[in-house]
Amino acid sequence: MKLSEWARQKNGLDCKTAHRLYRRRRFSRLLEQLPTGAILVHELPNKTSEAVLYALDSSSDQRGDLERQPERLRDFAVATAPHVVGEFMEVGSGLNGHYRKAVLKILGNPSFSEIVVERIDRLARFGADHVEAPKASNRELRKIKEQELNIDLVQDMVGVLISFCARLYAQRAVRNRAMRAMEAGRR
Closest to 51 measured CA to CA, from 128, 110, 120, 116: 116
What are the CA-CA distances from residue 145 to residues 74, 78, 120, 131, 155 (Å)?
Answer: 14, 16, 9, 15, 15
Which of 58, 113, 137, 163 is catalytic? The answer is: 58
How far, in Å, CA of 102 to CA of 42, rounded? 29
Residue 60: active-site member: no
Select from 171, 139, 161, 109 the least CA-distant residue to 88. Answer: 109
What residues act catalytically?
58
